[in-house]
Amino acid sequence: MIIEPKTRGFICITSHPKGCEQNIVNQINYVKSKGLVENTKKALIIGASTGFGIASRITCAFGSKADTIGVFFEKPPSKGRTASSGWYNSAAFEKEAKKEGLYAKSINGDAFSNEIKEKTMALIKADLGQIDLLIYSLASPVRTHPKTGVRYKSTLKPIGSTYTNKTVDFHTGEVKEITIEPSSGDDIDNTIAVMGGEDWQMWIDALQENNLLSTNFKTVAYSYIGPKLTEAVYRKGTIGRAKDHLENTAFTITDSLKNINGKAYVSVNKALVTQSSSAIPVIPLYISLLYKVMKEKNLHEGCIEQIYRLFNERLFATQVPTDDHNRIRIDDWEMREDVQEEVTKLWKKATTENLSAIGDLQGYKNDFFNLFGFNFDEINYDVDTDEMVLIPSIDS
């Protein structure tokens, strides 16, 4: 079929298998150009198909020649309907891994469920014995609790008072005001239940009970802090409470891993265009301005550059550099004072008329379409393309 982008709000409901493959190959080539980092031999990546998760899987496999198991929740293709991009990304990843003789298997399903945990553990037991690294990069709007069956929905709301600020519709470039009502009822608890640390801990507990973690095992989950500009809706909002919970969980997990000298970390990453971040109000405007400033200062990184730096310089250092909350900060360049000062100045000025000049709206849009395999120069989008691309390790 001829596959074109079809957007609905902040998502794209089609994706291009060849373009997704190009996206993966580009990331693999980046890692290969940097050389081996030899940090992990057997890694489990949860949320492994898009954004920071696929970048982590690529870095493990092509940076360290590690065996990888990836868990994700993606839509397979059906005749006449494309798969979700994370599906095609994973198919491309496995194809490239196989070419290099690397072990790579994937599990598609709800990582919050007992069933997927059991399935993953059975695979580790059968194929890898133990893992030495678990990357937790899951981003989801909902979670069904495996013990109670309660379905929680997360929210992206300020806490305490109504928040009004600028935002951009990145499709049209229109800068407008947005007002978000504060959280109410169980919004905070529900968001913590979805995006906090409970599920991360459940994974670690289950793996440890089954003796699937090696000595010196490490685990890392991803978090975000960001600037004052976005804090009402992000770090001091409902999602920020969930990130507080996630960050505190790292301490509990490290305690529980003492007998194997294991460690849990949270890495605070840079704001980047991913399927999850495009859904957060205000963030697309911030990212458009941030990209402009960071590109001008030659500081811009995408997911793969961020994760390679995390692996190469931080996570496996003899003394892991952390802030006073034990967090690894690869958002250091984003948070630099000179960067933030300029973004704040631009933020005040930003209007529909000037955004494409003072911000990097084009860069935002391009990254957005790239997530779904579109806008790659190497791909001819006018030719008939087979949408029925399967993931080799998944029976479909």
CA distance 83 to 387: 7
Q: By CB under 6 A, tell whether 277 contacts ligand NAI.
A: yes
Select from 10-18, 31-39, 110-118, 182-190 the region that touches ligand NAI (CB under 6 A). Answer: 110-118
Q: By CB under 6 A, tell whether 238 contacts ligand NAI.
A: no
- Contact residue for ligand NAI among 31, 37, 44, 48 (CB under 6 A): 48
Q: By CB under 6 A, tell whether 274 contacts ligand NAI.
A: yes
Determine whether 234 is an active site residue: yes
Select from 50-58, 148-156, 250-258, 359-367 the region that touches ligand NAI (CB under 6 A). Answer: 50-58
Q: By CB under 6 A, tell whether 281 contacts ligand NAI.
A: no
**163 versus 224: smaller Cβ distance to ligand NAI:** 224
Q: By CB under 6 A, tell whether 368 contacts ligand NAI.
A: no
CA distance 11 to 370: 12
Label residue 350 left, alpha or beta by phi (over 0 means left) and psi (-120 to 50 means alpha).
Answer: beta
- Contact residue for ligand NAI among 17, 19, 51, 158 (CB under 6 A): 51
Least separation in angstroms between CB 48 and ligand NAI: 6
**214 versus 237: smaller Cβ distance to ligand NAI:** 237
Q: By CB under 6 A, tell whether 45 contacts ligand NAI.
A: no
CA distance 337 to 296: 15
CA distance 153 to 194: 7
Q: By CB under 6 A, tell whether 210 contacts ligand NAI.
A: no
- Contact residue for ligand NAI among 191, 214, 275, 288 (CB under 6 A): 275
**54 versus 257: smaller Cβ distance to ligand NAI:** 54
Q: By CB under 6 A, tell whether 189 contacts ligand NAI.
A: no
Point out the catalytic residue in the list 224, 234, 265, 286: 234
- Contact residue for ligand NAI among 271, 294, 304, 358 (CB under 6 A): 271
**14 versus 214: smaller Cβ distance to ligand NAI:** 14
Select from 25-33, 68-76, 98-106, 316-324 the region that touches ligand NAI (CB under 6 A). Answer: 68-76
Subset of 190-209 contacting ligand NAI (CB under 6 A): none
- Contact residue for ligand NAI among 25, 110, 166, 206 (CB under 6 A): 110
Spatial CA neighbour of 371 closest among 170, 182, 222: 170
Q: By CB under 6 A, tell whether 289 contacts ligand NAI.
A: no
Select from 8-16, 66-74, 75-83, 386-394 the region that touches ligand NAI (CB under 6 A). Answer: 66-74
Subset of 251-270 contacting ligand NAI (CB under 6 A): 269
Burial of 115 (C-beta count, 10 Å sphere; 0-12/13-18/19+): exposed
- Residue 260: how many other CB atoms lie within 10 Å: 15
Rg of the chain on CA atoms, in Å: 20
Residue nearest to ligand NAI (CB): 51
CA distance 200 to 349: 41
| Stretch 78-107: interaction string toward ligand NAI, x if CB under 6 A | --------x---------------------
Q: By CB under 6 A, tell whether 73 contacts ligand NAI.
A: yes
Residues near ligand NAI (CB under 6 A) are 47-53, 71-74, 86, 110-112, 137-140, 222-224, 269, 271-272, 274-277
Catalytic residues: 234
